[in-house]
Structures are given as structure tokens and as C-alpha cells.
Amino acid sequence: MKNRTGNRHTVAATRVETAQAVLPAHTNGMGTLFGGVVMQWIDVAAAIAAARHARGTVATASMDRLHFLRPVRVEEFVIVKAEVSFAAHTSMEVEVEVLAENPWTGERSQATHAFLTFVSLDEQGRPRAVPRLITETAAEKRRFKQAAKRRAARLREKSELGKAVAHRK
């Protein structure tokens, strides 16, 4: 099955890389990037990756394991890399890596890492089936297996949360 770019439904066909300059409006009083701003950049890049795979509208279902590893300072560049790492029936996991780049040296270091889950939606806003994700490299196959384990854990957590909410009522 081919997508709009002529590629099959491979991990490579979902890859997104964006760049942003960290401006004073993006930062707090310490001159470092607000977490919410980088979360927005993560969500947008991940949504594009998911939409490329689903070939349609997607909605963010969850963001987890978001770790801020180092502050990003005003004037640095932020590189956001996203790709689909797993596809189930109607949902997809997207892995996102955020790098901070020194504009004068070009040196990059990891600033943030996250996993997001997206659901593909039809015209009525109901979940819609997504194509099978084709993994080609050993690393992609390994990440797919790891993502399947994370999905199982998310589903268990969602079930437990649903029970806890129902118990409160």
C-alpha cells in the first residue's frame, strides 16, 4: 500500500524533522524554554508523523514518558524529530526526540524525549483503521516490539484509571 509520497507505510515514510529558534517569547524569566511550548512543538510534529501513516485526520490520545533532560536556552535551536514506532488497529505510537542545537557551534544534545499515542479518525470523528506499519531495519523492529509492550502497559493503566473513576462516582 502506498501513501501520498509514493512510499509504502514504512517508518521512514512517517519521519518528521522540524526546527525552531528559541525566542524570548518562548522562555521564562530564567531565559529557558517553557515546557508547554516544547510540548506543543512535540505534539505538532508527532501529529504530522501519525497523519502521514494514517493518511488522514488523527487526534492525540496521550503523551507519556515526557522527560525534560536539559534546559533549552534563548537563541538555541530546537530540532524535533518524530516517527511512528508502532501501529495497532486504529492507534499509533509516535516517538519524539527533541535536540537543542548551539547555533554557533552546531553541537546538538538531547533535551527531551516523549511517546505519544494518536487515534486515526473518520469524517464523523470515529476511530478508523490504520495500515500496518512496515519496519525495515533492526532498530525499527526493536522499537516496534518495545512500543507494543508500552501499549499493553498503557491499556492496563487506562483500565485501572477507568475503574478508579467509576469507583469515585
Query: What are the sequence ranges of the domains in the chain?
Result: 11-168
The C-alpha cell of 150 is what? 508500552
Backbone angles phi, psi at 121, to 5 degrees: -120, 145
Mean pLDDT of the chain: 91
Between 159 and 99, where is the model more confident?
99
Per-residue pLDDT reduced to its tens digit, 108-139: 999 999 999 999 999 999 999 999 999 999 99
Is the pLDDT reported for residue 144 higher than 70? yes
* Residue 167 binned pLDDT confidence (cut-offs 50, 70, 90): low
pLDDT of residue 5: 44
Q: How far apart are CA 45 and CA 58, in angstroms?
A: 12
Is the pLDDT reported for residue 149 higher than 60? yes
Q: Is the pTM of this model over 0.95?
A: no
Distances (CA, A) of 61 to 34, 92, 122, 151: 22, 10, 15, 12
11-168 CATH choice from 1.10.3720.10, 3.10.129.10, 3.40.30.110, 3.40.50.10950? 3.10.129.10
Is the pLDDT reported for residue 162 higher than 90? no
pLDDT of residue 1: 44
* Residue 77 binned pLDDT confidence (cut-offs 50, 70, 90): very high
pLDDT of residue 90: 96
Neighbours of 100 (CB within 10 A): 22
The C-alpha cell of 10 is what? 514504512
Is the pLDDT reported for residue 4 higher than 50? no
Supply the DSSP string of 57-76, one letter for each residue.
-EEEEEEEEEEE-S--BTT-
Strand partners, 101: 77, 108
Give the closest residue to 120 by CA, choosing from 45, 49, 23.
49
The answer to whether the CB of 73 falls within 8 A of the CB of 22 is yes
The percent of residues above 70 in pLDDT, for the chain, comes to 92
* Residue 65 binned pLDDT confidence (cut-offs 50, 70, 90): confident
